[in-house]
């Protein structure tokens, strides 16, 4: 029969296959019955009956096969055709009682459809023409004497036996059709489930092979009951998260290492240090602008914030390089010692410019430079995209390292200044000491000269005294 389009479900597809197979078998039986009728027609000289009734049955079958669109209706027609075939064979064999067994053969054949409903018209037609011919034979109509054996004992009880057997066998065949249909459905569901499991297994194997190649972007649509598929998806998710963590750690470690090299290479010059670090950060993070601000004048009466280094800042924004403590977002971040992250930037806050024009950034990130609870400045970055959480964590580590380096540079500068002042003071003391030594030596030389002159004066006085004494003696003698 020409089946109606079934619903595209596994059970309906398997059912369609069963229907097609049943139609092929039924077609063979219809053709076989037609040929059988012709053969026995020539034997019993009823070929005209075989060609007439058999040809009618074959025509009705072809009409049911190609003209009737409804599958169930076409099968009801086939059921009636088989009932007529049974009547044809009984008539061709001149009422041979053995031909009545064709009822059981055909009823068994109809089980192939696995539909108990096709048994109903077959059983009804069988009972109808059986009762009709029983009536004709009972009333003595010519030619009906051999339809039933033991015509002398015909009565309603015999008819009831015959009809009861027809109904009982039809019911048994219908019951078996129901059982076969249920078993076929279960078998089809099991087969479909097996195919589904094989398909899922193959898909999961292909998925695992792609994962083994490192392609974590592959995905698989796991069915609700595909526990392995869900486990593989969870494994892929864990692998992707692990890979993302590894990439983030690699990003952070590589960036910290490169910034560390810059910090070690420029410790003697804080300005060059700030320029190299902010340039590296802007390029490493694919940002557009950046600046390093430092707190100055803490030891004086005028503490303030200065822009030490910048990258691609618009001139108008930082024409004023000095900020007061607490002024603006930078001053607020330094005062509160906390990170400020903006994703809704005011239009007049900052403009990222190029040779073709300018545009407002999408995000602003300001991180305080804090080392041991001491804030020495801040880093400001502007970008056309939003910063990710691991990038902010990386920048916070960089800010700590830069702050520690700036503190170290400041301590070194102060130490060098104190050493220079101490050296100058020592040199001054040495000069004063040398001057005092020279003065002492000059005083000593002066004292020695005075003592020499005093000795000379004393010697001269002694000589003069002797001369005077001699002169007195001379004068006295005279």
The contacts of residue 89 (CB under 8 Å, 6+ apart) are 33, 36, 37, 40, 99, 102
Same-domain pairing of 38 and 167: yes
Residue 448 covered by a domain? no
Residue 95 to residues 45, 54, 325: CA-CA distances in angstroms? Answer: 14, 17, 123
Q: What angle do CA 400, 405, 411 make, to 5 degrees?
A: 125
Same-domain pairing of 66 and 170: yes
Q: Which of 194, 211, 228 is the last residue of a domain?
A: 194
Q: Which of 148, 164, 194 is the last residue of a domain?
A: 194
Same-domain pairing of 177 and 256: no
Residue 398 covered by a domain? yes
Q: Which of 173, 194, 215 is the last residue of a domain?
A: 194
Residue 222 covered by a domain? no
Sheet with 289-296: strands ordered across: 322-324, 304-311, 289-296, 374-383, 363-371, 340-342
Secondary structure element (H or E) that encloses residue 162, with its range: helix 156-212
- Structure-token pair, residue 323: 């900020």
Tokens 């004393």 correspond to 458
Residue 311 covered by a domain? yes
Residue 478 covered by a domain? no
Same-domain pairing of 36 and 119: yes
CATH of the domain at 259: 3.30.450.40
Residues forming a β-bridge with 364: 342, 382
Strands 304-311 and 322-324: antiparallel
User: What is the Cα 81 distance to its own chain's centre?
Assistant: 62
Same-domain pairing of 30 and 136: yes
Same-domain pairing of 181 and 259: no
Residue 5 covered by a domain? no
Same-domain pairing of 304 and 381: yes
Q: What pLDDT shows up at residue 2? A: 42
Q: What pLDDT shows up at residue 217? A: 65
Residue 356 covered by a domain? yes
Same-domain pairing of 294 and 186: no
Same-domain pairing of 311 and 188: no
Same-domain pairing of 186 and 43: yes
Domain of 160, in residue numbers: 10-194
Give the three-class secondary structure for 321: coil
Q: Rounded CA gap, 216 and 119, in Å?
A: 59
Same-domain pairing of 158 and 261: no
- Structure-token pair, residue 433: 């000491």
Give the three-class secondary structure for 33: helix
Q: What pLDDT shows up at residue 175? A: 92
Q: What pLDDT shows up at residue 153? A: 52
Same-domain pairing of 186 and 326: no
The domain total for the chain is 2
Residues forming a β-bridge with 353: 358
In order along its 478 residues, the chain shows pLDDT tens digits of 444 444 444 455 566 777 788 888 888 998 998 898 889 888 888 888 888 888 898 888 888 888 887 787 888 888 888 888 888 887 777 767 677 788 888 888 888 888 888 888 888 888 887 777 777 766 766 555 455 444 555 577 777 887 888 889 889 988 998 888 888 888 877 777 787 777 777 777 776 777 666 666 666 665 555 666 667 677 777 777 787 888 888 888 998 898 888 888 887 788 888 889 899 999 998 888 888 998 887 666 678 888 888 887 654 444 457 788 878 888 888 888 888 888 887 776 666 655 445 667 888 899 998 887 788 889 998 888 889 888 889 898 988 888 888 888 777 777 877 888 888 888 888 888 888 888 888 888 888 888 888 888 888 888 888 878 887 777 777 6
- Structure-token pair, residue 437: 């030594």
Residue 397 covered by a domain? yes
Are 363 and 385 in contact by the 8 Å Cβ rule? The answer is yes
């Amino acid at each position: 029969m020409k089946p109606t389009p079934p619903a595209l479900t596994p059970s309906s597809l398997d059912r369609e296959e069963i229907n097609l197979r049943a139609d092929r078998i039924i077609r063979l039986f219809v053709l076989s019955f037609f040929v059988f009728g012709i053969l026995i027609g020539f034997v019993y000289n009823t070929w005209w009956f075989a060609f007439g009734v058999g040809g009618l049955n074959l025509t009705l079958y072809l009409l049911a096969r190609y003209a009737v669109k409804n599958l169930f209706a076409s099968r009801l027609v086939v059921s009636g055709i088989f009932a007529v075939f049974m009547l044809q064979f009984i008539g061709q064999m001149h009422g041979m009682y053995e031909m009545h067994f064709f009822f059981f053969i055909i009823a068994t054949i109809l089980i192939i459809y696995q539909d108990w409903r096709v048994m109903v018209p077959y059983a009804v037609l069988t009972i109808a023409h059986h009762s009709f011919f029983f009536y004709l034979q009972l009333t003595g109509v010519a030619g009906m004497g051999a339809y039933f054996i033991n015509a002398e004992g015909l009565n309603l009880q015999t008819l009831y036996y015959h009809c009861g057997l027809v109904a009982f066998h039809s019911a048994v065949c219908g019951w078996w059709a129901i059982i076969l249909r249920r078993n076929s459905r279960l078998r089809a569901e099991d087969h479909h489930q097996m195919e589904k499991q094989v398909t899922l297994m193959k898909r999961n194997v292909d998925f695992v092979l792609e994962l083994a190649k490192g392609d974590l972007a592959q995905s698989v649509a796991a069915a609700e009951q595909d526990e392995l598929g869900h486990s593989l998806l969870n494994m892929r998710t864990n692998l992707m998260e692990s890979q993302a963590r590894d990439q983030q750690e690699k990003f952070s470690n590589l960036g910290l290492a490169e910034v560390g090299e810059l910090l070690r290479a420029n410790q003697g010059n804080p300005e060059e240090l700030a320029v190299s670090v902010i340039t590296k950060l802007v390029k490493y993070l694919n940002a557009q602008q950046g600046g390093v601000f430092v707190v100055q004048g803490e030891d004086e009466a005028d503490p303030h914030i200065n822009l030490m280094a910048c990258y691609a800042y618009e001139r108008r924004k930082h024409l004023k390089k000095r900020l007061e403590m607490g002024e603006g977002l930078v001053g607020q971040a330094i005062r509160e010692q906390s990170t400020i992250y903006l994703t809704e930037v005011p239009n007049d806050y900052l403009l990222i410019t190029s040779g073709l024009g300018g545009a407002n950034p999408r995000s602003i990130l300001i991180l305080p430079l804090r080392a041991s609870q001491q804030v020495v400045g801040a880093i400001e970055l502007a970008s056309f995209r939003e910063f990710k959480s691991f990038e902010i964590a990386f920048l916070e580590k960089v800010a700590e390292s830069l702050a520690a380096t700036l503190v170290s540079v400041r301590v070194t500068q102060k130490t060098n200044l104190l050493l220079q002042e101490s050296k100058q003071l020592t040199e001054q003391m040495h000069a004063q000491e040398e001057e005092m030594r020279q003065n002492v030596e000059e005083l000593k030389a002066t004292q020695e000269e005075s003592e020499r002159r005093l000795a000379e004066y004393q010697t001269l006085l002694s000589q003069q005294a002797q001369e005077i004494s001699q002169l007195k003696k001379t004068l006295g003698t005279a």
